[in-house]
Chain A
Amino acid sequence: MEFSYFPGCTLKTKGKELDISARACAQALGFTLDELKDWQCCGAVYPQATDEIATRLSSVRALVAARDKGQELVTLCSACHHVIKRVNGDLANREDIRSKVNAYLKLDTPYEGETSVLHYLEVLRDRVGFDNIAAAVKNPLTGKKIGAYYGCLLLRPGKEMQMDDPENPTILEDFIRALGADPVYYAQRNECCGGYQTLENKPQAQKRATSVVDNAAACGAEMLITACPLCLYNLTQNAENPLPVKYFTELLAQALGLE
């Protein structure tokens, strides 16, 4: 199995661990992430305004590059996934946006949203299978109480992201179970940590991060896992009583004995 891969700006810098562990796990589990050449930053915030065209172009370029290679496009960072998946939906479903983007890019074959965009977690669940992952685990994380932190961008809006039930998701808990650990359910697992606000209104980000982490700790979580470098930063740096937070792929690498 070979997929086109969009790492995004942070996975080459502060979020390197997410990229490195994901590649190592992919190799161990029998699939390849083929990094797109010349990818550009997705912008990290999906432009909701329907007349925003320039801010959608970097995502479209990545989608077109994957299409031209005949591959599905895999993402890792929650924000990249959110932006690219929704822009893809715009190109498939909104004639106003599709025609303006294509008029600008002047591609040999116009792009109409035909690339399939998968989050790495979906590859694990739907292509590799959590059963096969469980069978490949060398160091089961038995007895570890882990809170899945979905945050906001990975699942919402549910009808566009189509990864899981946005109000009662199971994908990360099933992943945690496959590694032999115990998932901890807590109310704020799919509520926003306020990470986008960390530069503009730090007290607001601190308040949100504290609320998420305190809720997880009160429910018995010893640590949290996430797919988002901004969540990881916010939960570890801005929460009053931080818990350890790791990327889900770091946990996977540990369980597969790849460290």
Chain B
Amino acid sequence: METKNLTQEVIRISGANPKKCMKCGKCTATCPAFDQMDIHPHQFVDMVINGRLEELLNSRGIYNCLSCFACMERCPRSVEPARLIEAVRMAVVRQKENNHLKPDAIPALLDDELPQQAITSALRKYMK
């Protein structure tokens, strides 16, 4: 898909409206993963608006977002950055052979205390 269409597709499936953003930076200020987000949440929103999808598709932040919804709760404009981040991650993992976590890799990561929920959630976030 060419970038312009892909941007529209990401916005559509996200259910969010990045154009409402007033660039206050509160989402980044409150993000507990901000230091692991190579593209900070407020930048992420701006880059969606400007169609810079290639960079977002290749960013590490789409995997490091904790899905904690702090940015959604605290955005004064109800932009819901986490929805955009998830939509971009979906655009990556939905492509054939593009799973971010392979089931074969999981057994080596387990320990005796690990709850099932950790595996289920990783599969849902990183695989299709």
Taking beta carbons and an 8 Å cutoff, which residues of A are in contact with B?
8-10, 13-15, 41, 43-45, 47-52, 55, 77, 79, 152-153, 156-158, 166-167, 191-192, 194-201, 204, 208, 211, 229-230, 232-233, 236-237
Contact = CB atoms under 8 A, between A and B. Distances in A.
Q: Which of A8, A45, A52, A232 has the most CB of B within 10 A?
A: A45
A230 B14 contact: no
Contact of A49 (B13, B73, B106): B13
Interface in B54-83: 63-64, 66-70, 72-73, 82-83
Across the A-B interface, the 10 shortest Cβ-Cβ residue pairs: A192-B68, A152-B68, A44-B121, A156-B69, A14-B115, A50-B15, A44-B120, A45-B124, A229-B115, A10-B117
B87 interface: yes
26 contacts: A10-B115, A10-B116, A13-B116, A14-B114, A15-B117, A44-B117, A44-B124, A48-B86, A49-B87, A50-B13, A50-B14, A152-B68, A167-B73, A194-B33, A196-B67, A196-B122, A199-B101, A199-B119, A200-B63, A201-B63, A229-B115, A229-B117, A230-B115, A230-B117, A230-B118, A230-B121
Interface of B: 12-15, 32-33, 36, 63-64, 66-70, 72-73, 82-83, 86-87, 90, 100-101, 106, 109, 111, 113-122, 124-126
A199 B105 CA distance: 10
Nearest to B126: A200
Given A199-B119, A200-B122, 9 more contacts: A48-B86, A49-B13, A49-B15, A49-B90, A50-B12, A50-B14, A194-B66, A200-B101, A201-B63
A82 B68 CA distance: 11
A168 to B, nearest CB: 12
Contacts of B117: 8-10, 15, 44, 77, 79, 229-230
B35 to A, nearest CB: 9
Contacts, number: 128
Nearest to A212: B32
Given A48-B14, A167-B73, A208-B32, A196 B116 contact: no
A158 B70 CA distance: 10
Contacts of A191: 32, 68, 70
Contacts of B118: 195-196, 198-199, 230, 233
Contacts of A197: 64, 66
Contacts of B73: 156-158, 166-167
Given A196-B66, A196-B67, A233 B120 contact: no
B69 A157 contact: yes
Nearest to B63: A200
Given A44-B121, A48-B86, A199-B106, A194 B116 contact: no
Contact of B122 (A41, A79, A199): A199
Contacts of A153: 68-69
B32 A192 contact: yes
Nearest to A77: B117
Contacts of A211: 32
A204 B33 contact: yes
A191 B126 CA distance: 22
A10 B60 CA distance: 29
